A and B are shown apart, each in its own frame.
Chain A
Amino acid sequence: DAKTTQPPSMDCAEGRAANLPCNHSTISGNEYVYWYRQIHSQGPQYIIHGLKNNETNEMASLIITEDRKSSTLILPHATLRDTAVYYCIVRGANDYKLSFGAGTTVTVRA
């Protein structure tokens, strides 16, 4: 019952922007897009979430298309410590659980 589609893996050069795509073509109007990441041997870490508008915080930017069927997480200046599995999750206003898919394994290379 995955609601999102992400590429299984991607590489990124250190210091460059990393753009992580996510498709969520069946998203409904009251569902949020959440991004978490999981660094090896750690628990998932919240990055950012949004509903309609683009969002930015100290970690990343979230760009949601106007039709809301896809989004992109942008890490503006990737570092080696950003190497992790990144999960894109669609979550309804009344969904208490996070439904994780397989995510995208991002490897930042020096």
Chain B
Amino acid sequence: EAGVAQSPRYKIIEKRQSVAFWCNPISGHATLYWYQQILGQGPKLLIQFQNNGVVDDSQLPKDRFSAERLKGVDSTLKIQPAKLEDSAVYLCASSRTGGEFGKETQYFGPGTRLLVL
């Protein structure tokens, strides 16, 4: 079974520029998550999709961040305009969602490392 795919793996931009990240979840997984991991900290959830609908985006800075999951498969996360504090690793995860969330394993991709100069 192929894992969660993310691209690009690394990105360097200047502040005020825009950037987009792509995620392809494990086949058949209905739920997709985007996490942000700042250096030295654990990952923090930004947004969760179930199929192509948003379940939780309460931690997403909506003035600059946006995400979509068209057709309920791939997802993109965009930052526009980027700030210095957005430098972090952006992780995508997916889970099957067949029952109780608490029993479901989330599988993570390798992440995209963003550096904003």
Contacts and interface: CB of A to CB of B under 8 A. Distances in A.
Contacts, number: 59
B98 interface: no
What is the predominant secondary structure among interface residues of chain A facing chain B? Answer: loop
A32 B93 contact: no
A67 to B, nearest CB: 20
A96 B56 contact: yes
A95 B108 CA distance: 17
A21 interface: no
Contact of B100 (A45, A46, A93): A93
Q: How many B residues are at the interface, by size bracket?
A: 20 to 34
B48 A96 contact: yes
Contacts of A49: 105
Interface string A19-63: 000000000001110000000011111100100000000000000
Interface of A: 30-32, 41-46, 49, 87, 91-103
Interface of B: 4, 31, 33, 40-45, 48, 55-56, 91, 93, 100-103, 105-111, 113
